[in-house]
Amino acid sequence: MSNHKEVRVFAPATVANVAVGYDILGFAINRPGDEIVARFNPELDGLKITAITGTGNKVLPFDVEKNTAGVSAQRLLEHLGKADVGIELEVHKRMPFGSGLGSSAASSAGAVVAVNELLGAPLSRESLLYFTVLGEVVADGSFHADNVAPSLVGGITLIRSNESLDIHHLPVPENLHVAVIHPDLEILTKDARAVLSDTVPLGTAVHQMGSLASFIVALYTNDLPLLGRSLHDHIIEPQRKQLIKGFDDVKAAAMSRGALGCSISGAGPSMFAICDSGYLAQAVGQGMIEAFAAHGINSQLYVSPINQEGVVVL
């Protein structure tokens, strides 16, 4: 067991789906994110959540079995045969709820890394993935890794199979930056999933498969023009954009300022725009802010390269 009495980590926000890869693509950004603290407490019999901050007017459960971070950490401890070890867990939210930025995923990823490090890091990062996904199930009832995988290990991740957690890292072109804008709206993942049709016309599916395949080719060949031509969501975006007031104008603003592509981050309402430089991402993001403001909506901008570290120990 580790000599550490306390471990504090930062788990980054993520952009899931990335337009062309519903439930199978995601990448991490530098900010925002969550801080998780795990510490030994010999007076406890097992895991206990002792502090939750940064929730605003939202109430998150302290019950380990009802909290995404708690469930992930508890399943890890059970797997390691350490369920009776006294550990305090603190969850410090540094990102908005229902934002489409992987808030629950960041908490889950941070919790398993913090507890794993506290115990001397018996498992690799990749081996922790299963436990982080279990926390996502608590959040929205779906077993998917498109947020937790990039938050945990960083970079752009492709999930060939969520069921078997067959995860692969994709290359990140040099200078690639993203503008992520979070409007003052809230969309719960379960509500965003409810608007989706269970059927997809064959022609639409073919277009989407072509876009996904060429997106991956663009990453491997560092072909940014091809990447831009690939970032078109033919299936999910047309159904979900109705949930985001001003979506078409915000996307038009991003594209008119030179973004390679723009779409919904995760379940929304956040939107992302991929750009070929940090300077351009800042300008694109400002245009998106102005477009939301024209619809009476305040928003917050985050500009970041692709975060290739994932959860970091502070």
Residue 273: band (very low, low, confident or very high) from pLDDT cuts 50, 70, 90: very high
Q: Can you give the residue ranges of every domain in the chain?
A: 6-170+309-313, 177-305
Q: Rounded mean pLDDT of 110-131? A: 97
Task: Concatenate the DSSP letters of all residues of the chain into one string.
Answer: --S-SEEEEEEEEEEESTTT-TTTEEEEEEEEEEEEEEEE-TTSSSEEEEEEE--TT-----SGGGSHHHHHHHHHHHHTT-TTS-EEEEEE--S-TTSSS-HHHHHHHHHHHHHHHHTT--S-HHHHHHHHHHHHHHHHS----TTHHHHHH-SEEEEEETTTTEEEEE---TT-EEEEEEES----HHHHHHTS-S---HHHHHHHHHHHHHHHHHHHHT-HHHHHHH---SSSHHHHGGGSTTHHHHHHHHHHTT-SEEEE-TTSS-EEEEESSHHHHHHHHHHHHHHHHTTT--EEEEEEEBP-S-SEE-
* β-bridge partners, 60: none
- Residue 193: is its pLDDT beyond 90? no
- % residues pLDDT > 70 (the chain): 99
Question: What's the full length of the chain, in residues?
Answer: 314
Of 14, 68, 132, 189, catalytic: 189
177-305: CATH superfamily: GHMP kinase, C-terminal domain (3.30.70.890)
Asked if pLDDT for residue 254 goes beyond 60, the answer is yes
* 201, 262 Cβ separation under 8 angstroms: no
| Model confidence at 66: pLDDT above 70 | yes
**Does residue 189 carry a catalytic annotation?**
yes
Express as a percent the part of the chain with pLDDT over 90.
Answer: 89
> What pLDDT is attached to residue 2?
52
> What local confidence, expressed as pLDDT, does residue 4 receive?
64
Can you say which residues are annotated as belonging to the binding site for ATP?
96-106
User: Each residue of 198-219: pLDDT tens digit?
Assistant: 999 999 999 999 999 999 999 9
What average pLDDT does the chain have?
95
Query: Do 177-305 and 6-170+309-313 have the same topology in CATH?
Result: no
Average the pLDDT over 259-277 and give the result. Answer: 97
Point out the least confidently predicted range of 2-16, 63-77, 106-120, 251-265. 2-16
pLDDT at residue 172 greater than cutoff 70: yes
Note the pLDDT of residue 3: 53
- Give the active site residue among 35, 90, 117, 136: 136
Tokens of 267: 């379940």
Give the residue, 136 or 299, on which the prediction is more confident: 299
Residues 114-121: what's their mean pLDDT? 97
CB atoms within 10 A of CB 262: 25
Q: Would residue 136 show up in a list of annotated catalytic residues for this protein?
A: yes
Token pair listed for 27: 């990448």
Residue 247: alpha-carbon gap to chain centroid: 20
When the candidates are 3.30.559.10, 3.30.230.10, 3.30.70.890, 3.40.50.150, the CATH number that belongs to 6-170+309-313 is 3.30.230.10
User: Which residues on adjacent β-strands are paired with residue 170?
Assistant: 156
Q: Tell me which residue of 139, 124, 123, 36 sits closest to 82, measured CA to CA.
A: 123
Q: Give the residue-averaged pLDDT of 151-167.
A: 96
